Amino acid sequence: MEMKVLRLLYFWERILWSLGKSPDWTRSDRAIRGRYGEWLGRRTLRRKGYRQMSRNWRSKSDRRQEIDLICSKADLLVFVEIRARSRNSLVGGYHSVNGRKRRALKRSFRSYLVESRSQASNFRFDVVEIDLPRSVGEEPVVFHHENIAIF
């Protein structure tokens, strides 16, 4: 029952966000900011012509391995890490993908390619960085960094 209520809540969040009602940044918690950031990232990629194949994919062998978004565009498989940060944070979303995170992402990519038996010969890694405002009324800024070298 609790799961159904949460799904309904998340559904209504996305409806409100689609109508332009963004969360109150001064009172929203980290989970809401994260969900909103992922929603903005997905929307941005969809508008750029990417087709979403999977969201929050987890490996069957190791549930800690996660890929935020897997998309395709033409014959290219795109693995996406979405980073939502406060606009005045010390480290931006792009730079927050440090060595440890890169190694974890590489393991996840390999697991995905093995588990899905993907025939994709071309793939790349992108980072979508969302700078969330500190006050109500300001709009978030989305940056799409394509083809990040992590291998």
Q: For residue range 37-96, what is the model confidence (pLDDT) as tens digits?
A: 888 999 999 999 999 999 989 888 777 788 889 999 888 999 998 988 877 766 666 677
Q: What values do phi and psi take at 5, rounded to 5?
A: -65, -45
Q: For residue range 118-131, what is the model confidence (pLDDT) as tens digits?
A: 777 788 999 999 88
Distance (Å, rounded) from C-alpha 28 to C-alpha 143?
Answer: 22
Q: For residue 37, give both structure tokens.
A: 């950031």
Topology of the domain comprising 2-145: Trna Endonuclease; Chain: A, domain 1 (3.40.1350)
Q: Is the pTM of this model over 0.95?
A: no
pLDDT of residue 6: 67
Please answer whether residues 65 and 35 qualify as being in contact, where contact means their C-beta atoms are separated by less than 8 angstroms: no
Distance (Å, rounded) from C-alpha 109 to C-alpha 77?
Answer: 11
